[in-house]
């Protein structure tokens, strides 16, 4: 057992016990080792994941290329950051591609219940969710999860009116 008096007597130039011990792997990183493999095995065909550094699993990019719907023909880039306190806290996702979407703001903020720790609809993040759920959720924004009643969409509605006034007025 190391006591404060032993620590104070230790020479400042010598190696401490902590310097020789291997770095501990965080719970997040342990979870991500399994989840990234599972995510890649269960990825929608319209998605592709890119890791800038294969040893850094908590930061990656997701590319979605919808094969149907309004966004057919587009390729959309998302940045995913998994926080240190994952899986208690959801990953953070931002859309880096400029897009006109009712659930994505002009700044790339995403309105998706499972990305929220506290969600008004009860479908928010839970520790039982995984990265593959995030991919499927983001992918579904291009097919079946359009939510026109979300507060983030107020600016969307205003912009639609502006476009009608400027370009489609009778």
Q: Kindly list the catalytic residues.
A: 111
Residue keyed to tokens 């996702």: 93
Adjacent-strand bridge partners of 94:
79
Residue keyed to tokens 């859309």: 95
**How far from the centroid of its chain's Cα atoms is residue 169's Cα?**
39
Distance CA 143, CA 46 (A): 11
Give the count of beta carbons closer than 10 Å to the beta carbon of residue 82.
Answer: 24
Give the count of beta carbons closer than 10 Å to the beta carbon of residue 57.
Answer: 19
56 three-state secondary structure: coil
Q: Angle at which helices 27-41 and 131-140 pack, to 10 degrees?
A: 50
Distance CA 55, CA 25 (A): 12
CB contact at 8 A, 110 and 92: no
């Amino acid at each position: 057992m190391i006591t404060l008096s032993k620590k104070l007597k230790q020479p400042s130039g010598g190696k401490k016990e902590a310097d020789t011990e291997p770095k501990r792997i965080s719970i997040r990183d342990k979870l991500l080792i399994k989840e990234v493999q599972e995510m890649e095995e269960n990825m929608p065909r319209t998605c592709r994941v890119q890791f800038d550094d294969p040893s850094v699993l908590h930061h990656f990019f997701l590319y979605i290329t919808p094969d149907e719907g309004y966004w057919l023909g587009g390729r959309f880039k998302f940045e995913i950051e998994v926080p240190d306190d994952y899986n208690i806290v959801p990953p953070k996702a931002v859309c880096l591609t400029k897009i006109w979407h009712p659930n994505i703001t002009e700044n790339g903020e995403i309105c998706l219940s499972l990305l929220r720790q506290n969600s008004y609809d009860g479908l928010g993040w839970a520790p039982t969710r995984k990265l593959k759920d995030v991919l499927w959720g983001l992918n579904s924004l291009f097919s079946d999860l359009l939510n026109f009643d979300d507060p983030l969409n107020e600016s969307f509605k205003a912009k639609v009116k502006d476009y009608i006034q400027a370009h489609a007025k009778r």
